[in-house]
Amino acid sequence: MNLAVLGAQWGDEGKGKIVDLLTPRFSIVARYQGGHNAGHTVYVNGTKFILRLIPSGILHPHVTCVIGNGVVVDPQALFAEVDELARNGVEVDGRIAISDKAHLILPYHRDLDLLLEARRGDRKIGTTSRGIGPAYEDKIARRGIRVGDLADPVGLEATVRDNVTARNRLIQDSTMDWRPVVEQLLTDGERLRPWIRDVSVMLHQAMREGRPILFEGAQGTLLDIDHGTYPYVTSSSATIGGVCTGLGVSPRAIGAVVGVAKAYTTRVGEGPLPTELFGEQGQRLRESGQEYGSVTGRPRRCGWYDAVAVRYGVRINGLDVLALTKLDVLDGLEQIEICTAYRCGSRTLTDFPSDVGQLAACEPVYESMPGWSAPTRGIRRFEALPEAARRYIARLEEVSGVRAAIVSTGSERDDTIIRDDIMKLQDGRIAGLQD
């Protein structure tokens, strides 16, 4: 069975760890959207790996990693990541495939990202300034450059010349020369060449041979270009639909969907966050959860678990189960709040509002739960959790409308509870979901 693993909140849910944990059951891990704005952190035997473009399955030698057409690729960022993995003893060559239809991020996309943010002033989005939005803009405007275009120097030159000329017009006093951009791309093309594939064909072949695929999402449901808190979103389809468009597979290829959610909520960048905690409480979560962006180092905004947002993720993505992460960060809190609805003027909303202005005007409706003092860090059996922690999880499941099959209690691969009664990892496969 193929499985999709994606973010049920505003990104940074801990997808990297969950993908890494599940990978032994799969022969391919395929990323379907986003770019090096993502930062998937995986700890193995005390070594920290941050993966941005390369799927988190790369740390398992038997796995082939696929970068789909829905991803935007900055070749320099990709090479830096490959080199960093090699320095840590992880060989990538022969185990990586990049779609010929994936679009490239070029130096002028990074410049434009910064420029557009500066022009937005106090309406800025708080992007990662990696050129993600401008690269997707070019894709949609049908002037983008795809990985496969690197094999056609004449066409490449014409498109880069046009794009750089347009950029020079947009940025005052800018005289970027298109020639070095083309030269760099041709050099990059040489290094990329052995990895370039028709990814859709490759995945269908794998499915015919019965080799299971894990579809890996980046960012999260509320950052999705269509279903997120627009315009405070990223520029790609982080929700389940992105699997099909970003890899060229049918919806029938997706056997089950795991949503990853933190036991509380975080967001980095601008835009509404109804359960945000300011002052000491927010700082407490930020420090004990080490909530600083793995790409930009920015402090993440922190708040209580928002069941309205997660329920929305359940609806949009058809989540079968949750992987609940960072439970241990809540250790030692006397009281924990869960947001079960929003109050918006005189109305109580139980559905996530469609309009970002309305969301910004919402106040959370909280339900209080007692906390626990015994540490949960590193606990690997559900029964070993303090009773209050088990009650907290049970209530999150009730109000979110989905069971938590996995509970993560620390950053290491094995600091994880897998609840056999909901989902079983056995004989190299996953049972208990729609099988």
Nearest distance, CB of residue 351 and ligand IMP, angstroms: 23
Q: Roughly how many angstroms between the first and final C-alpha of the chain, as a whole number?
A: 7
Q: Residue type for 48, please?
A: K
Provide CB contacts within 8 A for 225, sequence distance 6+: 136, 233, 234, 235, 236, 237, 238
Rounded Cα distance, 348 and 31, in Å: 38
Rounded Cα distance, 302 and 223, in Å: 16
Whether the CB-CB separation of 194 and 151 falls below 8 Å is answered with no
Q: Residue type for 202, please?
A: M
**Which CB atom, from 266 or from 400, has the smaller least distance to ligand IMP?**
266
**Which CB atom, from 124 or from 146, has the smaller least distance to ligand IMP?**
124
Q: Which tokens hold the place of 306? A: 């928002």
Nearest distance, CB of residue 17 and ligand IMP, angstroms: 14
**Which CB atom, from 125 or from 359, has the smaller least distance to ligand IMP?**
125
Rounded Cα distance, 57 and 79, in Å: 17
3-class DSSP state of 130: coil
Binding positions for ligand IMP, rule: CB under 6 A: 11-12, 37-39, 125-128, 130, 132-133, 218-219, 223, 234-235, 268-269
Nearest distance, CB of residue 299 and ligand IMP, angstroms: 12
Nearest distance, CB of residue 146 and ligand IMP, angstroms: 20
| E strands in 72-138 | 72-73, 96-99, 103-104
3-class DSSP state of 210: coil
User: Among all chains, which residue has been given the structure tokens 């990696």?
Assistant: 130
Whether the CB-CB separation of 19 and 56 falls below 8 Å is answered with yes
Q: Are strands 301-303 and 265-267 parallel, antiparallel or unpaired?
A: antiparallel
Whole-angstrom Cα Rg for the chain: 22
Nearest distance, CB of residue 11 and ligand IMP, angstroms: 3
Nearest distance, CB of residue 50 and ligand IMP, angstroms: 11
Q: Which tokens hold the place of 56? A: 């988190």
Residue of this chain nearest to ligand IMP (CB atom): 269
**Which CB atom, from 106 or from 389, has the smaller least distance to ligand IMP?**
106
**Which CB atom, from 4 or from 125, has the smaller least distance to ligand IMP?**
125
Active-site residues, by number, are: 12, 40
